[in-house]
Structure 1
Amino acid sequence: MPKSVFYYHRAKLSDKDKHADLKQRITKLYHQHKGRYGYRRITAALKQLGSHHNHKLIAKLMRHLN
């Protein structure tokens, strides 16, 4: 088994979600504003709270969360 394949599968087996708390904050903000905020406003609200993340990451996580 090639070394790269071993590390690829090892990373896939770890069940840790590195964006779990960010997903929680996005969900909380989204429901707090009654579903009216898109990724741009969610990104701005998170920046005001001191959490700086790329808008593309926020959009991807929001798509994942529906």
Structure 2
Amino acid sequence: MDIPEATYHYHIKQMHQKAPDQTWETLILKTFEKHEGRYGYRRIHGELKAQRYTINHKKVQRFMQKLNLKCEKFVRKSRYKS
């Protein structure tokens, strides 16, 4: 193959690096399990934001779809009605 030497070394270096998305996936999975599967992508995004992580809500949604994490149905406490 005829590729530049710099390109070859760049790709070899990229192959040995850890995937940057792996840390996001573990954070999302831990948060999901911490709340016993009751949080959807919006609430998980809010949790990560509260922990001072900067991530787009669409990316959280994409990772949750990739990991097949879905919020289980839960019942909110009803408000007082007189």
TM-score, length basis structure 1: 0.75
User: Counterpart in 2 of 1:57?
Assistant: 59
Tell me the distance in 1 between the aligned counterparts of 2:22 and 2:48. 15
TM-score, length basis structure 2: 0.62
Q: 1:41 aligns with which of 36, 43, 61?
A: 43
Q: 1:25 aligns with which of 24, 27, 44?
A: 27
Tell me the distance in 2 between the aligned counterparts of 1:55 and 1:24. 16
Q: 4+ residue runs of structure 1 moved beyond 3 angstroms? A: 13-16
Tell me the distance in 2 between the aligned counterparts of 1:17 and 1:39. 22
Unaligned runs of 5+ in 1: 1-9
Count of residues paired in the alignment? 60
C-alpha deviation, 1:17, in angstroms: 1.9
Q: Alignment identity in percent?
A: 36
Report Cα offsets for 1:12-37 as digits up to 9, x if no partner.
x8474221111101000000000000
Unaligned runs of 5+ in 2: 1-10, 69-82
Tell me the distance in 2 between the aligned counterparts of 1:44 and 1:33. 13
**Structure in which a larger fraction of residues adopt helix:** 1
